[in-house]
Structure 1
Amino acid sequence: MARTDSDSDVGRRLERRARTELIAELVTLRGLQQVRVESLSSCGAGLKVDHLPEIGSTIVLAWPVHALCGTVAWAKGRRCGISFSPAVPEATIAEIVRTNGGAHIDSLARLAKSGSFSDLGKI
Structure 2
Amino acid sequence: MGHISFDHILPEVGKRVTSRLRLRLAARMMTTAQAWPAELLDLSYFGGRIACDEPPQPGQDVLIEWGDFDAFGMVVWANLRTCGVRFYEPLKAQVLIATRDRNDVEPVQTNKDRAHHEARDFVMGKLNR
**Considering the TM-score relative to the shorter chain, is it more than 0.5?**
yes
% identity of equivalent residues = 24
How large is the Cα RMSD of the aligned pairs? Answer: 2.0
Provide Cα deviations, 1:39-72, integer angstroms capped at 9, x if missing partner: 1011000111101112111111113411111111
What letter matches 1:51 in structure 2?
A: E
**Segment drifting more, 13-22 vs 29-38:** 29-38
How far apart in 1 are the matches of 2:67 and 2:41?
Answer: 18
TM-score by length of 2: 0.68
Runs of 4+ displaced beyond 6 Å: none
Q: Aligned-pair distance for 1:28?
A: 1.0
Please state if 1:42 is matched with 2:45: yes
Give distance in 2, aligned partners of 1:96 and 1:4. 26
Q: Does 1:93 align with 2:96?
A: yes
Alignment of 1:13-92 (within 5 A): 13-92=16-95
Judge conservation of contact 1:45–1:83 (CA < 8 Å) in 2: yes
- Count, aligned residues: 98
Structure whose CA Rg is larger? 2
- Counterpart of 1:71, as a letter, is M
Return the alpha-carbon distance in structure 2 between the equivalents of residues 90 and 97 of structure 1. 11
Aligned equivalents of 1:4, 1:95: Cα separation in 2: 26
Which TM-score applies when normalising by structure 1?
A: 0.71
Match of 2:113 in 1: none
**Gaps in structure 2 of 5+ consecutive residues:** 1-6, 107-129
